[in-house]
Structure 1
Amino acid sequence: MIGYVRGIVTHLFKESCYVDVHGVGYRVYVPTTTRQQLIEGHEATLFTYLNVREDAMQLYGFWTEEEYELFILLISVSGIGPKVGLGILSGMTPEAFKLAVINGQVQQLTKLPGIGKKSAERLVLELKDKLAKMTHISAESPAAIQPIGVAASGAAGEAIEALVSLGYSERDVADIVESLDDGKRDVSELIKVSLIELGKGR
């Protein structure tokens, strides 16, 4: 098993990167949060999981041990494969995901890519107790019952969903879209101006 890789990031793609380790280029699939930490030409250390299938071997990498450990838990759930697990980590911070599971917030979880109602219910059923023990909080604790956030509605909500479908994480685009939503812009215009702001690296 490859526990981690350390090397120079030579290429960055939407969902993966190449890491040169002593002249060998490893393709590593990464969540959005990890990708945002990587810089071409700079050294990086990624905690990795090697997924072996009949037709391929794929390496998944994570910037922090917390993300790695959560990924391992995710793929232990029936019906959750590595790609869906990666999508979950790209769509929510580990903290937000843990609280959503502990609170049994099925509706919140269904907003994640590849997660329907049944999958969300399975995540809660299989991970609730494990995550509560890991985070030392329970569904009754004050920290756990705080709402994660209310999803934007109307044009802003549709714009956020469209941008998430383009590969942006919800937490990256929500503040921008909501700040630009003056009630006069339609969905397409909101998407357009939000993309401009995202391009500025805001």
Structure 2
Amino acid sequence: MIGYVRGIVTHLFKESCYIDVHGVGYRVYVPTTTRQQLIEGKEATLYTYLNVREDAMQLYGFWTEDEYELFILLISVSGIGPKVGLGILSGMTPEAFKLAVINGQVQQLTKLPGIGKKSAERLVLELKDKLVKMTHISVESPDAIQPIGVIHSGPSGEAIEALVSLGYAQKEVEALVESLNDGAKDVSALIKACLVELGKGR
């Protein structure tokens, strides 16, 4: 069992990254929250879970122990595999997910990728008591449960994705793209404008 990996992030992809650990490059699949923390060329430590199948061995990594522990809990639920577990952590913060389960917010959970009504009900049934015991967060109203970030579409979304793939931090480029997108720029023009602004700070 690989408990964690520490090394230099050499490549960033949409749902994974390469981490160089003393000359060995590990491909690690990560949720959106962890992906946003990673920067190419910088060292990172990820808590990991090794999923062994007949045809492959896949390593899943998490920025915090809280995310890791919740992932392990998720894949213990019947019908929830590592890919779906990763999608859940990409769709909600751990705190928001715990609140949704504790409050029995099935409709909120069905908004997560790969989760239908039956899966959502199973999550509540199997995890509610466990989460109540392991968490100190208070039960709040459904309005307090919010998905991660803002879903960007159109030119803004494409520009953000392109800039993130170049190694820029998502939070940084999201704010920049929104400030520069006047509705008249196409994707290429928006990316060029962002690169100019990003270059000024270097």
Q: TM-score, length-normalised on structure 2?
A: 0.76
Aligned positions of 1:92-131 closer than 5 A:
92-131=92-131
Deviation at 1:96, TM superposition (A): 0.2
Post-superposition Cα deviations, 1:129-154, rounded to whole Å, max 9, x if no partner, equal 000011135xxxxx313224588xxx
Post-superposition Cα deviations, 1:109-148, rounded to whole Å, max 9, x if no partner, equal 00000000000000000000000011135xxxxx313224
Q: Give unmatched runs, 5+ long, in structure 1.
A: 138-142, 152-169, 178-190
Aligned positions of 1:27-42 closer than 5 A:
27-42=27-42
Secondary structure, aligned partner of 2:2: coil
1:201 aligns with 2:174: yes
Secondary structure, aligned partner of 1:34: helix
Q: TM-score, length-normalised on structure 1?
A: 0.76
Deviation at 1:35, TM superposition (A): 0.4
In the aligned structure 2, how far is the partner of 1:115 from the partner of 1:87?
Answer: 9
| Counterpart in the other structure of 2:139 | 144
Amino acid at match of 2:174: G
Deviation at 1:100, TM superposition (A): 0.1
Cα gap change, 1:49 to 1:117, in 2 (>3 Å): same
| Counterpart in the other structure of 1:181 | none
Q: Is the 8 A contact 1:75 1:85 kept in 2?
A: yes
Post-superposition Cα deviations, 1:13-55, rounded to whole Å, max 9, x if no partner, equal 0000000000000000000000000000000000000000000
| Counterpart in the other structure of 2:23 | 23
| % same residue | 82
1:192 aligns with 2:187: no
Q: Give unmatched runs, 5+ long, in structure 2.
A: 164-172, 176-202
| Counterpart in the other structure of 2:54 | 54
In the aligned structure 1, how far is the partner of 2:91 from the partner of 2:139?
Answer: 19
Amino acid at match of 1:146: S
In the aligned structure 2, how far is the partner of 1:201 from the partner of 1:132?
Answer: 35
